[in-house]
Amino acid sequence: MSFNARDTQLYREDERAGHTKLGVEEREELVKNYLPAPPARERSSSRGRKAKDKSRFGLRKVVKAQLFVFLYAFVHAIFSVYIRMRIAYRAVSVRAVSILNYHHNTPEYVRRDVGKLRRLPEHLSVILTLEDGGSGDNALQLLVNEVSEIAAWCASAGIPQLSIYEKTGLLKRYMNRTYRTVNQKLSAWFGKNQAPPQALATRGASTLQSPNRADLPRERCLTIILVSEDDGREAMVDLTKVLATMVQKEKIRPKDITTDIVDSELSDAVMREPDLLISFEPYVNLQGYPPWPIRLTEIYCEPDNQGVGYQIFLRGLRKYSQATFKIGK
């Protein structure tokens, strides 16, 4: 409560003395000035007395309301100007940095940028959005290109696992196309024979894999998981259905359903907890991202930014390397 200084001091002294200094009544006296008026039903008894000065209060209320309406428009006008300037400023600065620090489609440049970081995420997740409601082949093409770009950055930086969230699940329907485009991109970056093997997986479909994947250590490979809105609540609903059927058939008891069971099932079916989530939207909005895995995920979102960019990716990694982790402590 926005106590004034004297009352705050009184309250803190009482607190330090283990709440022995003030009695119940004194404490009530202390807060009385700050309380809202009693509810209307209690006030109705004294209506007769209040009626006299009603007109004056009525006028005051009208003036006050008008003032608030005016102030609201004014504040929002100012804020609108401010936020537009902020967006413009940030867009220009990101653009400038990305010109100065371009990756030139070479893995070495990415490695150099990432080499300074203390640690890298094992599992990176990104949120991508379809342009303009996602109708037409153009939107899909853009999306697939973004996926292949990010895949190339991850492969260069040495991040072994990448999960891509796209709300509508369009990518899942074009898995072959996505797979081909990523392959092409990786060959363009690394050279035809040096390209790291990749695997493209999603819930409820067979994984697409590079043929030479088995010969190489896991760190050299890139696994991409496609995730959509259906992998969030719907996946949990599916799991609940299975569990309910099992309990009905008396294979398990409801007591057996623990966080561990749910966790292991959902991690197997959908994905494990990502270490870092990068959103390329102007503000943090999860858009239906699966709720179970994001428990301790570091979330990075460049404010006011719209669209995929290498600089955003780098900043996300930087932020992750600086973050400290302590569960519950």
Query: Which of positions 133-172 make contact with another protein (CB under 8 A)?
Result: none
Q: How far is the CB of 29 from another protein (least distance, A)?
A: 11
Nearest to 222 by CA among 188, 168, 174, 182: 182
Among 26, 50, 60, 80, interactor with another protein by CB under 8 A: 80
**89 phi and psi angles, rounded to 5 deg:** -60, -45
Query: Which of positions 31-70 make contact with another protein (CB under 8 A)?
Result: 31, 34-39, 64, 67-69
Q: At which residue do the structure tokens 């990432």 appear? A: 114
Q: How far is the CB of 36 from another protein (least distance, A)?
A: 6
Distance CA 58, CA 78 (A): 30
Query: Which of positions 256-315 make contact with another protein (CB under 8 A)?
Result: 257-259, 262-263, 283-292, 294-300
> Residue 26 or 108: which CB sits closer to another protein?
26
> Token pair of 30, please?
């202390």
Q: How far is the CB of 317 from another protein (least distance, A)?
A: 13
> Residue 35 or 99: which CB sits closer to another protein?
35
Distance CA 47, CA 163 (A): 65
Strands (E), the chain: 123-128, 161-166, 198-202, 205-209, 222-227, 276-279, 298-301
Q: Tell me, what amino acid is at 265?
A: E
Q: How far is the CB of 205 from another protein (least distance, A)?
A: 22
Site for another protein contains 217 (CB under 8 A)? no
> Residue 124 or 239: which CB sits closer to another protein?
239
Sign of CA dihedral 308, 312, 316, 321: positive
For residue 316, give the DSSP letter: H
Among 138, 245, 267, 306, interactor with another protein by CB under 8 A: 245
Query: Which of positions 10-29 make contact with another protein (CB under 8 A)?
Result: 11, 15, 19, 24, 27-28
Q: How far is the CB of 97 from another protein (least distance, A)?
A: 21
CB 28 within 8 A of CB 58: no
Query: Which of positions 81-140 make contact with another protein (CB under 8 A)?
Result: 83
Q: Which range of residues in 91-99, 187-195, 217-225, 236-244 is near another protein by CB under 8 A?
A: 236-244
For residue 103, give the DSSP letter: -
Number of residues this chain uses to bind another protein (CB under 8 A): 71
Site for another protein contains 5 (CB under 8 A)? yes
Q: How far is the CB of 266 from another protein (least distance, A)?
A: 10
* β 205-209/198-202 pair status: antiparallel
Distance CA 127, CA 125 (A): 7
Distance CA 241, CA 254 (A): 13
> Residue 188 or 284: which CB sits closer to another protein?
284
